[in-house]
Copies of this chain bind each other. A is one copy, B any other.
């Protein structure tokens, strides 16, 4: 249009890095990260991330390189979500439940140049390194993240069979320059992270997120969970799972406080909620179960309402009721790694308030509709690509399109092509559309194979949800093809 231009004054590639830059000014003295007795302010978090980026650049990391991480929800993993992109690189957070063999496969597939490893997970990294060495494959540089307040025990060090070099996280940060010129993406569709989904067949796929998608999905999460500036978020959802639903980035947009948690248990959750006035948290339905089944000794009173985002199997009515009594509000979402975490929210309508409890539960259990920054969800005949009728009965494949759909599978053109066949992302999940437009999941199109038998995954979830062993293992936001559900 005559008179208009696209220039540095009015066009900036969308990137979550912008959120941190702003938080360091607007919320500079506000607490950014809490971990035990450790506290950082936003200006400190920014400086630490810039130092990290600088240190990575000094290690030779350049635009487009992959940097892996093996860590629970500790401050270093939060910082890696900014420090790695600020060096122009791509973060690859690995599931801490993988075995050394899987870690070695993923390090090879991602061609990671550096890996950051929590001191408690050295056995995993070392095991993977051994396997890589045997294959004469390249081994990345390892940076060990020590517990700041607690150096590794002899046992931890015993697990480290290979001398893992002399790089240590805090020492590395000290080598970084606080004045380092942050490398922002030239194009907003440049990759920011790659997350592996384990897959049912054992062949993992690297789901690539872009700066643009991460930026937009972070905003979508904030909007749908009514998260306000300076809110307090408890990290129960692993940051290695869909980059914690993009909330490491979203929390910087809000200048909020990240409460990091190494071990998730009823006790640590209640303690954190109470001590830090947590306003929001997330978690698989197992987390909800853990909360409502906590012993009296583990519980602490919840002073103000805590909003909980949950995904996957809809929580049963009695759990929802108990959560409500305890002071939690629950939002149900559905998604998968390929859509940056939650792709739908079950928006509650005021007219459902007056329904009897069983009717209410029926509505609450639906997967709902696409979030505000996702373009579209549909239930389609996977062959003809025609939408199924909105009758609540006609089955079809659930499909998404929008800016918060992955860029594709890393080094897997064929996989990407199949996933996007027809111009939509095909979830592989079967569902129906109700007369009011809302979607309900019915089953996966590719069934899960257990002991050679096809099993409806929805059935698997229902059984698992009530299994006592799941309670003990509540941290598992697990994946069957990267979906939010319990591990089979």
Contact = CB atoms under 8 A, between A and B. Distances in A.
Interface residues of A, number: 73
A126 to B, nearest CB: 29
A119 to B, nearest CB: 31
Given A9-B405, A228-B226, A415 B3 contact: yes
Given A9-B420, A401-B9, A420-B9, A408 B4 contact: yes
A230 B2 contact: no
A1 to B, nearest CB: 5
Nearest to A351: B29
Interface string A191-209: 1000000000000001010
A372 B406 contact: no
Nearest to A208: B4
Contact of A219 (B219, B424, B437): B219
A4 B425 contact: no
Given A229-B347, A437-B28, A372 B22 contact: yes
B370 A3 contact: no
Nearest to A406: B10
Contact of A402 (B10, B223, B253, B401): B10
A362 B422 CA distance: 58
Copies of this subunit: 2
B3 A411 contact: yes
A407 B19 contact: no
Contacts of A36: none
A387 to B, nearest CB: 12
Contacts of A230: 350
A406 B10 CA distance: 6
Interface in A218-277: 219, 222-224, 226, 228-230, 253-255
A425 B222 contact: no
Given A1-B191, A5-B420, A26 B437 contact: yes
B403 A10 contact: yes
A6 to B, nearest CB: 6
A437 B400 CA distance: 42
A412 interface: yes
A380 B266 CA distance: 52
A7 interface: yes
Given A189-B11, A375-B12, A402-B12, A410 B4 contact: yes
A349 interface: yes
Contacts of A191: 1, 4
Nearest to A414: B3
B14 A403 contact: yes
Contact of A401 (B8, B190, B226): B8
Nearest to A410: B3
Contact of A22 (B19, B229, B370, B424): B370
Interface in A403-449: 403, 405-413, 415-416, 419-420, 423-425, 436-437
A403 B28 contact: no
A228 B419 CA distance: 34
A369 interface: yes
A424 to B, nearest CB: 5
A14 B189 CA distance: 13
Contacts of A350: 230
A111 to B, nearest CB: 10
Nearest to A371: B22
A437 B5 contact: no
A425 B9 CA distance: 6
A369 B413 CA distance: 44
Interface of A: 1-12, 14, 18-19, 21-22, 25-30, 64, 90, 189-191, 206, 208, 213, 219, 222-224, 226, 228-230, 253-255, 347, 349-351, 369-370, 372, 375-376, 400-403, 405-413, 415-416, 419-420, 423-425, 436-437
Given A9-B420, A222-B223, 4 more contacts: A3-B206, A10-B402, A27-B347, A255-B347
